[in-house]
Amino acid sequence: MAAGAGAFAPSSLPSTSFASSKAFHASSSPSSPLGRSSFSLAGASRQVGAPALSAASWQRSEGLRGARASSFGVVITGAAGGVGFSYADEFLARGHRVVICDISPKISQAADALRKKHSNAQLYEIITDVSDKNSVSQLASFAKEKLGTINYWINNAGINGGRRAFVDVPVEQVEAVVKVNLLGALLCTQYAMKTMLQQPGVTSHVFNTVGSGVKGGGTPGYVCYGATKRGQPQMTKSLVDELTKGVQGYEKKEYPGDVKQVHTLSPGMVFTQLLLDDSTPELRKFPFGVLAAQPEEVAADLVPKILSTTEQGSSVEFLTTDKILFKLFSRFVLQQKSEYIDDDGNVIKRPGAQYDENGVRALF
């Protein structure tokens, strides 16, 4: 991953809500191969019922009582696996209406798994390439048709392009990472805003996912990824200023809907393909074994925070400073062992669970 074993700052490692380094496009699934020549896979869509395998947590139970009073429409990109899949599970558990998308055909399997758990939920899925404007336009239209009102749009999709020296990265991969992570975020945010601004009396929220490099720290091995993530806070701040102040020299436009809420979302280190692919035993021992979490744990923590966010331009984080210090204290002062990584740097596998060759646990 993007940092040496001695580094533990959240910004020093790629966010793990994204696809495998072997995935060419915006997917939480490792099934899309690098080097794919075509980005556009728009068109295949179907309605599904819902279901997932997220852990019941105290965060979820705390928010469930009041959550069902209002059912919100939620769009989640990159949801064929990983934290995107777990976000969907958490929103569905609270009675919200959800559209999930991914470039991978596995989005259908993800939706089927969610249906098994949430039999009465309103869940819809569509194949989407976030780097293609026509595909994103179709996603926005599909979401509006199925959900009626879109209250939350979470741009979770992304790729890291593989861990290697920048001079060895094929130009095609450079283009892919920039198109998916940066162009994709811009396109999805624009289409989300265009849709939301036409919703009379509705205040809507857009969350853009940040990761390693967001604060300007180096991301050796992931130069392209870090560069794309560094731009997310700047984009968010620019949008906040436009929505609140307008553009200097132009008359500020008024719209039926209210999209004054644009934020960044940081899932931190999550045990997915992106984190574990190309990792070493030393990296798995630290920082992964100390700071990383399972997708369900991250989603259970972040979804209530997303739903309770009210301030413009908020930064919603899983690995807060207090949480980092607590985890470090528990490991190095109290000498508590990791429940996910053993002393040799191997993934600890749960009985009955399925894992791939990198030690990533299957969520469905």
pLDDT tens, position by position, for the chain (364 residues)? 333 333 333 334 444 333 333 333 334 433 333 333 333 333 344 343 333 334 444 444 444 444 445 899 999 999 999 999 999 999 999 999 999 999 999 999 999 999 999 999 999 999 999 999 999 999 999 999 999 999 999 999 999 888 889 999 999 999 999 999 999 999 999 999 999 999 999 999 999 999 888 888 998 988 999 999 999 999 999 999 999 999 999 999 888 988 768 999 999 999 999 888 888 999 999 999 999 999 999 999 999 999 999 999 999 999 999 999 999 999 999 999 999 999 999 999 999 999 999 999 999 9
Which string of b and e fits 304-335 if b means at least 16 CB within 10 Å? bbbbebeebbbebbbbeeebbeebeeebeeee
Listed in sequence order, the residues at least 6 apart from 199 whose beta carbon sits closer than 8 Å to its beta carbon are 149, 150, 256, 257
What pLDDT is recorded for position 260? 66
The Cα 31–Cα 82 span in angstroms is 13
C-alpha torsion sign, points 258, 260, 264, 265 = negative
Residue 102, SS3?
strand
What pLDDT is recorded for position 42? 36
The Cα 242–Cα 87 span in angstroms is 29
The Cα 92–Cα 86 span in angstroms is 10
Bond from prior residue into 51 cis (ω within 30 degrees of 0):
no
The Cα 238–Cα 244 span in angstroms is 10
Asked whether 346 and 281 are in contact (CB, 8 A), the reply is yes
Strand order from edge to edge, sheet including 203-209: 45-48, 123-127, 97-102, 73-76, 152-155, 203-209, 258-266, 315-317
- How many other CB atoms are found less than 10 A from the CB of residue 168? 8
Which residues are the active-site residues? 225
Asked whether 10 and 268 are in contact (CB, 8 A), the reply is yes
CATH topology of domain 10-332: Rossmann fold (3.40.50)
- How many other CB atoms are found less than 10 A from the CB of residue 256? 11
Residue in the structure block whose two tokens are 């307008």: 246
Residue 176, SS3?
helix
Side-chain half-sphere of 226: how many Cα atoms within 13 Å?
Answer: 22
- Intra-chain end-to-end CA distance of the chain, in Å: 25
What pLDDT is recorded for position 212? 84
Closest CA to 151 of 259, 281, 297, 311: 259
The Cα 359–Cα 96 span in angstroms is 32
Residue 113, SS3?
helix
